[in-house]
Structure 1
């Protein structure tokens, strides 16, 4: 760590300069997360699921001059150099031969003596973390050292996030704030990091067995893939004690299946976003045993204040739907070089999440939908998450997404996009009847579309903007 920081110094990296990493999870990623702040520089973990054009945009936008790449992404270097003229140095952090035009990670570390920690201050910029772009162009979220520590300390202090001395498995991508939250808390509390390059059900099952993993952070799509894997029932998962999940909603059906496959595990849900470093609320294992509370996102974490407000930022009565807003030491510094969007998001001292939700009398936050994803059909508000939960309870549904599509009669109609479970044969009307039996008729999908897979972001979120684009009316000829 201190040797890598020295190498960065030797390459001309100055205080505040951005250093990127484009790599799968590894021990070198772990070292990068420590070494860049040690050198006084700024982290820029790159989304490994982006296209080369999107990666180049983030490097240009943040003016990243030094980039670490592993074997998986070394082939992109020529194109990235061509699209990012100010990228001056590429460090190869893989195990294969060092590609031409790049520097060897291990040679750099071996060739430098350790340097002292630059000791950046709490309010200094720690990293620029790009949003997944699920609703539009990706933005660089500026998080300070104080932001990251506040979220990690508050989450750890809750007593329901991670415990002291555990063995944490990293299978969620380390570029994402969800995994970074767990990484930070485990570093603060002490313990062991077990790192896999990426998630596969087989890889996770083997790692839990051989490394006696005690805790893991997963996104709901990973949980679904794990519990659907036939090998999960035969694996020795007795060491696993806690599953933390978040980043996107989880259906009750998937959660029920996960509880059966992992009967010795406690589940903790973390709700938040990149702009909140990332944790805002936590749903404890005890709350998961309550039929009503388990459908919520939990209560404010110790470091977080949460309110529900109307469009004029007036707090709404308990039980009414409004926008979820958050304040605390974990709220971002702002969006990189986007002052207008920063001012819009951080109005009146609160981070406006863009999520619609309500709060009950006990302070539990119920997320109903992204405000942009809310469907208005025939003058009625329909929250896609509610419809998706109803659909997911059908045994023939593997995964689903609900969107609003243009409709001449209703303005928007509720449209379901469904991936069927292996071997399942289900007709649209059967799914519609299944949903109608659980929720109001006007919320029932008026149309159903079957697909082989849903478009996903690098963080495992369904890209509803891509689904909506398929149904957008073509632009009139000019």
Structure 2
């Protein structure tokens, strides 16, 4: 993948050269042309340089969605530094861990999080300066306005890490995935091809920018020269209003947000002009899939991606969603993008398994991260001879479609048989008495482990363990079925919404 000396900033330079007065970015009632955006980024880079930020340094960012986050990503690239975006949903102790792990010496912090950071300052020894964004005294705008635009730009190398996004941390502390000029350029190329992004695209960025579903989606649309609309947070009625009034053509959501949108009045009319709805981040339950396809006509694209791959690397396109003779594909993660190779490997032996057999997905692509920041052991574990181990268990069919089964670490081994909890969860979630479910393995004297379901009932009176076990036995092999059910009010989740199965195992085991 060719990377120019401007790296990711070439996106902005190209927009400025071709159409300087065209609106590039919108946020609320504010908009910036390519010319204005370029000037702001160069000034921000100049201000950061004046603060001593240079190659391989980290700049921290903590706020809900805001254009300043994208501006900082571009500015970091111009300095040879990396932008470490922090998940604003983290608890204070978790925030301190991520900020300290990144080594950021300067933080750009939304006014709503300023008090939290001030209370943590004694625990952030590396942080020299905090720039408050928004609020009554908007230091960020003054930071830009008073700066001299950067003239001496860093010459970008393909291996430069310019963006550091943190993994969800479902099995431990989050790790900083180092995304490079090469990896993001490769991702943008795949995204433009898969979704038909072009200069006429109006791209809605509603997912958090600390996630690839936010930042990578935004960069892909900008790379095409399109108009990017950033919304601060998910308010379903406001999102539909924005889609309708701003003529949005492309949007990406997690399935939970799609469900919220479907619950709004006027969803059909508001989405009539959409050309693409991408969704991912978690599997879409079959009932929601059926409701979505029956309600809206927008072409649907299911994606399989991960932070370590700079975003999406598999796509299930709209034709596969709406083919009545191939509804089994609704459970598929799609097929790899053209420059990505996926193997299905026995995680214990490293040997490829036969078609249709479950193993671990190993991926080779220029989209792959450089590694985990300051974690050489974790990086060495993640890569095998240039192949990235996804940690995801699944299978591939004879047409090349991937099917995710579960996380390798969540696999239950009962009586020598491998059980992937996601398969059991897919059955249970279709029972009308089940609102949410997580399946785990619990220790068992005879079988080693036994399958156990943790269920949030759809109604407090609908908590019948025997009925649910019987339901699974009618649909699954006996050894895959739960031998016990625990009912809870809510499942424990991390700040990105993923279920923390380690907490369930710890509590129930």
TM-score over 0.5 for the alignment? yes
Give ranges in structure 1 of 5+ residues lacking alignment.
Answer: 99-103, 473-478
Which position in structure 1 is the counterpart of 2:106? 66
- Sort the Cα spacing of 1:121 and 1:438 in 2 relative to 1 into closer, same or farther, 3 A: same
- 1:154 lines up with 2:194 in the alignment: no
Q: Is the 8 A contact 1:248 1:460 kept in 2?
A: no
Q: Which is worse superposed, 428-437 or 282-291?
A: 428-437
Alignment-derived partner of residue 226 in structure 2: 191
Task: Kindly indicate whether the alpha-carbon contact (under 8 Å) linking 1:457 and 1:463 is maintained by their aligned counterparts in 2.
Answer: yes
Match 1:258 to one of 284, 292, 305 = 292
Distance 1:56 1:246 in 2: 29
Q: How many equivalent pairs are there? A: 464
Aligned position for 2:4: none
Once the two structures are superposed, the pairs formed by residues 163-312 of structure 1 within 5 Å of their partners are 164-227=199-262, 229-231=263-265, 236-261=270-295, 263-289=296-322, 290-310=326-346, 311-312=348-349
- Residues 205 and 235 in structure 1, CA contact (< 8 A), matched pair in contact too: no
Which of 14, 21, 28 matches 2:61? 21
Gap regions ≥5 residues in structure 2? 1-40
Q: 1:165 to 1:405 in 2, by over 3 A?
A: farther
SS at match of 1:21: strand
Q: Is this contact kept in 2: 1:249–1:385, CA < 8 A?
A: no
For residues 154 and 390 of structure 2, the distance between their equivalents in structure 1, rounded to whole angstroms, comes to: 33
| 1:341 positional shift | 1.9
Q: Deviations over 1:135-189 (max 9, x none)?
A: 122212112111111112122223x464552222222111101222211210111
Q: Distance in 2 between matches of 1:436 and 1:288?
A: 29
- Alpha-carbon deviations, 1:211-232, whole Å to 9, x = none? 33222211223233333x3546
Q: What is the Cα deviation at residue 268 of structure 1? A: 1.0
- Aligned partners of 1:57 and 1:423: how far apart in 2? 38
2:125 match: 85
- Which position in structure 2 is the counterpart of 1:10? 50
- Determine which of 406, 410, 421 is the counterpart of 1:369: 406
CA distance in 2, matches of 1:226, 1:105: 33
Change (3 A) 1:434 1:226: farther
Q: Are 2:438 and 1:438 aligned?
A: no
CA distance in 2 between partners of 1:420 and 1:350 (Å): 41
CA contact (8 A) 1:247 1:461 kept: no
Rounded to whole Å, the distance in 2 between the matches of 1:244 and 1:270 is 7
1:240 CA drift (Å)? 2.7
- Maintained 8 Å contact 1:167/1:215: yes
Verify the 8 A CA contact 1:173 1:459 in the aligned structure 2. no
Aligned residue for 1:475? none
Partner residue of 1:101? Answer: none
Q: Could you say which residue in structure 2 is the equivalent of 1:476?
A: none
Candidates 140, 146, 162, aligned match of 1:126 = 162
Question: TM-score if structure 2 supplies the norm length?
Answer: 0.86
Deviation, 1:28, is: 2.0
Assess if the C-alpha contact under 8 Å between 2:53 and 2:81 holds in 1: yes
Partners of 2:62 and 2:110 within 8 A in 1: yes
Task: Compute the displacement of 1:8 (Å).
Answer: 0.7
Q: CA deviation at 1:471?
A: 1.4
1:70-128: CA deviations, max 9, x gaps? 02211112233111111001111123335xxxxx1011111123223434222111122
The answer for the alignment partner of 1:388 in structure 2 is: 425
1:292 aligns to what SS in structure 2?
helix
Conserved 8 A contact 2:73-2:163: no
TM-score by length of 1: 0.91
